[in-house]
Chains A and B, each alone.
Chain A
């Protein structure tokens, strides 16, 4: 029988890259994304006996809440960086999506990521965010409106009524 640590090790090895990608969509920063995931995984150790069978929903919830909590804590503050990004800003591939996502409030961004990247239903999204389905709907509506205003009409046309 696998011990908790063995299962944890196996899970981290297999799923951490995917978790980091989702975290990147949530926060738009690769380092922050790694930090979010690492923080969530460390927290998961204490609950592993309970969530070990299917840790993904729990980790998603912790990552989203942690990100919103950090955003609240640091909003309004400028962040200093020692290095200029060495990667050219994507021009075509992201359809201006990265900038448009950055303009969303963190909860709206989380709704978009959970609904369209993780393919969660409204109910599942509400459960992850700890808010009502009605709030999910209103956040979704506002987020889509903002994406449209950012010139992403083509991307969101097909999801308007979703």
Chain B
């Protein structure tokens, strides 16, 4: 025994004898403490679970993207896909004049749509009233209105007989029952309801003829896989009832944009484009077919002076931009390729001799197509000068956006573009709930650690 140990024992012995205690009373107090702690742990776990669920699992809140500094109406050079948790216009209010609309790329068969403000760059989800899910939207040339198909009541409640649309496309969740136009400035909606037994086929089409007038065509679902064509109509919402467009074969027709003020409807069956006038659809007398065949190119666009085709007309067999001046007989003269971009998609006319397209980042190099190697490379936005036969890169478009859904306010193409704001990321949208959730989890973890240390 060393001296320090002995001294400590001697010191300890000097302490008074401890006050007697009842071990049974200590045991009872210990049991009470255990019960209280268990209740506290259970209550804390419930609170943590509730807070965690609210903060992390719940998909709300949907964030309203802050608007940028207002600028003159313009189309952004860079178009991104926003995440799916941006607030919709039903919550955030009308988005104002739009420069771009497109469908999200994350859902097969056409996801929800979003729009980009022409003056602030703000992204908004377009959860328009009565919107038929998966249905198309069309942005008016001035970006002030959106035409879309709506759902509604049908004569027969059972929507079951039709298993797919006549075009084989995806069925909407509810039957199509009309067309509507949404005003992006005040959020008002003008509806034209179409009453039918089972609703309309989901391949119904709608297009803007000018800033105020739409053309639409549809088939009525019959309970079988083939619908019954109900013709085509032109309609100026708010000023008149829809008027049948006579004298045209509209089944399967595609509406083709043209340089204003020509209104064109391109028909697939006979490759003849029609001009829609106030009273009828009149053939233009122009005809464009792929040379050597009698088939219609994938896309065709006419101006007063130019015929432009985005398709495959020469080797190598890949879609490119072809253009040629209109001949005296209104037919296209020889169409020659412009530039080396491949797989272009038409966005609109910038002037009567300049178009804007977007295309995959592949290029024609030495007669061979070189596609981009990286995964999900952005697509590029190009300006094609038909007079100078030159291509200039303007910006980028997110690779995930479905090609056919991307539309711009065509009137704004003539104005200088702006850089474009990036929509908030998922982390930014969920910053507050993630922070709360993170702090909650950290606090829970810290509490557990402290509790363990105390137990030890």
Contacts and interface: CB of A to CB of B under 8 A. Distances in A.
A97 B8 contact: yes
Given A34-B19, A94-B10, A155-B3, A8 B27 contact: yes
Interface string B4-39: 110111111111111101011011011101100100
Interface in A39-87: 41-48, 61, 65
A119 interface: yes
B39 to A, nearest CB: 13
Q: How large is the interface on A (under 10, 10 to 19, 20 to 34, 35 or more residues)?
A: 35 or more
Contacts of B37: 46
Contacts of B11: 25, 90, 93-94, 97-98, 101
A42 B3 contact: no
Contact of B9 (A45, A117, A159): A117
A135 to B, nearest CB: 16
A17 B356 CA distance: 93
A46 B33 contact: yes
A13 to B, nearest CB: 6
A17 B30 contact: no
Contacts of B7: 94-95, 97, 155
B30 A154 contact: no
A21 B13 contact: yes
A45 B31 contact: yes
B21 A38 contact: yes
Interface string B214-240: 000000000000000000000000000
B454 A46 contact: no
Given A34-B18, A48-B30, A155-B4, 10 more contacts: A13-B23, A41-B26, A42-B29, A45-B27, A65-B454, A94-B11, A116-B4, A117-B12, A157-B3, A158-B4
30 contacts: A9-B23, A9-B27, A12-B26, A16-B21, A17-B18, A21-B12, A25-B8, A33-B18, A34-B18, A38-B21, A41-B26, A41-B30, A45-B27, A45-B29, A46-B30, A48-B30, A65-B453, A65-B456, A94-B10, A94-B11, A95-B7, A97-B8, A97-B11, A101-B11, A113-B8, A117-B12, A130-B453, A147-B4, A155-B7, A159-B2
